[in-house]
Chains A and B, each alone.
Chain A
């Protein structure tokens, strides 16, 4: 079952602005991952944050994780038109071995206007 909820469902911003997307989940996790999907394409892994981590950076991406609130946020700084895509969070259940199946959130459609 899908346990991730993301908000907003859709976000439209201007190039250069920052974009923040949030993800909430229901059960304990091993790690949380963010993926990007361009329209009609497969998903691309962006970043992984483990349950014992609180913040992680990768280029223009910043991910936070609050396990007490069962929530995560993805911040994209200095957005570009090429960042236009759907963004999904995905959780790996706590206690399962690596390679366990991920549960994906509902996704946020980001539109960056030039």
Chain B
């Protein structure tokens, strides 16, 4: 199997604070990690693609200074929502590509962010 751990599962924060979300591949090395945002009853919107040791590639319309992505190792990527505002409240999900299984994604369990 391939286990992806995402932490925290939920977070409530005050407006203006920064929140860091971690995505770890526990039993494999992830060549690439992806970060998504999902609104209730909607599909996943890809925010950025993260490769170990290089800068993330952001999708059009996603502010790279707002959503900082760091992929320091083959097993860890982090998404930091900087100066969070209520409109950043959403469900954030990461996924990982595993070598030799490059065509399917393994997902974290998601993080529900609520900004007050």
Contact = CB atoms under 8 A, between A and B. Distances in A.
A25 interface: no
Given A43-B93, A43-B95, A98 B109 contact: no
A2 B112 contact: no
A42 B104 contact: no
Contacts, number: 56
Interface residues of B, number: 26
Interface stretch (A13-21, A56-64, A76-84, A103-111): A103-111
B107 interface: yes
A95 interface: no
A42 B34 contact: no
A48 B4 CA distance: 20
B107 A42 contact: yes
B46 A101 contact: yes
Describe B's contact surface by its main secondary structure: strand
Interface string B6-36: 1000000000000000000000000110100
A96 B98 CA distance: 17
A106 B46 contact: no
Given A40-B112, A99-B97, A45 B46 contact: no
Q: How large is the interface on A (under 10, 10 to 19, 20 to 34, 35 or more residues)?
A: 20 to 34
Given A40-B112, A104-B43, A109-B41, A31 B93 contact: no
Interface in B25-79: 31-32, 34, 41-46, 49
Contacts of B107: 35, 42-44
